[in-house]
Amino acid sequence: MERVDMAMNTLLILLQDFGLAAVPAVGFAMIFNVPRPALKYCAVAGAIGHALRFSLYKIGPLPIEWATLIAACVVSMIGIHWAQKWRAHPKVFTVAAMIPMIPGVYAFTALLALVEIERTGFTPELLKTATDNGLKAMFIVAALAVGLALPGLLFYRRRPVV
C-alpha cells in the first residue's frame, strides 16, 4: 500500500513538472517570436523534455548532465519530425523547448559568487560555489546543445533536415 502511495506521489510530481515546464517554453517562444501555429509544439516539446529529464535524474539513477543530453536528443528527434511536416528548421521549436532546462540559476550563482569574492575577499567556500555552479552550468548547456545536434550529426550527415 505504501509503495502504491509513493508511486502515485511520484506520478503527481511528474505531472506537475510536465505542466509547469510548458509555461516557460511558450513564454520564451514568444520572446523568440515563434509563429503562433508553432507555439503548441514548443509547449509539448518543452514539457516532454523537462519531464523526461526530471524522471531520469530525480527518479532514475542518471546524473543531471546525462539526463539533459538524453532529453535534448529526444526533443530534437520529435522536432525534426515536426519540422519536416511544417517546413521550418527544427530549431524553431526545439530551442524554446530547451529553455526550461537552461541552467540559469547555476550560471547566475557562479557569477554572483565571483562578484562576492571581489567584494568581501577570497574564501574557499565562495570559490567552491563559483566553480561548482559554473561547471554545472557549462556542462548542462553543452549537453543541451549537443543533444539537439545529435540526431543531425548521426542520421542527417550530408543532407539537410528540411
Partner 1 sequence: MNTDHGHRREEDQGAITRLCAQTGVMLLQHGAESALVESVARRLGLALGMDSVEVALMANGITVTTLYGGRDCTTVRRNVDRGINMHVVTEVQRTMLLAEEKKLDLAGVARCLDEISPLRYPRWLVSVMVGLSCAAFARLGLLARGGEADLGTFALTFVASGVAMQVRQWLAHLHFNPLVNFAAAAFVATSIAAQGVIHHWVDSPKIAMSACVLLFVPGFPLINTVSDMVKGYINMGISRGVMAVLLLLACCGGIVLAMTAWNAWTWL
Residues in contact with partner 1 by CB under 8 A are 13, 16-17, 20-21, 23-24, 26-35, 38, 50, 54, 58, 87-89, 91-92, 95-96, 98-100, 102, 104-105, 107-109, 111-113, 115-116, 119, 126, 129, 141-142, 144-146, 148-149, 153, 160, 162
Amino acid at site 89:
H
- Residue 20 or residue 77: which is nearer to partner 1 going by CB? 20
Report in angstroms how near the CB of residue 63 gets to partner 1 at its nearest.
Answer: 14
Question: CB of 96 within 8 A of CB of 42?
Answer: yes
- Residue 35 or residue 60: which is nearer to partner 1 going by CB? 35
Distance CA 25, CA 95 (A): 9
Q: Which three three-digit cell numbers place residue 7?
A: 508511486
Report in angstroms how near the CB of residue 79 gets to partner 1 at its nearest.
Answer: 12
CA distances from 34 to 23, 75, 80, 101, 150 (A): 14, 17, 16, 18, 23
Report in angstroms how near the CB of residue 65 gets to partner 1 at its nearest.
Answer: 13
- Residue 56 or residue 113: which is nearer to partner 1 going by CB? 113
CA 159 to chain centre: 27
CA distances from 42 to 36, 84, 156 (A): 10, 15, 22
Report in angstroms how near the CB of residue 5 gets to partner 1 at its nearest.
Answer: 16
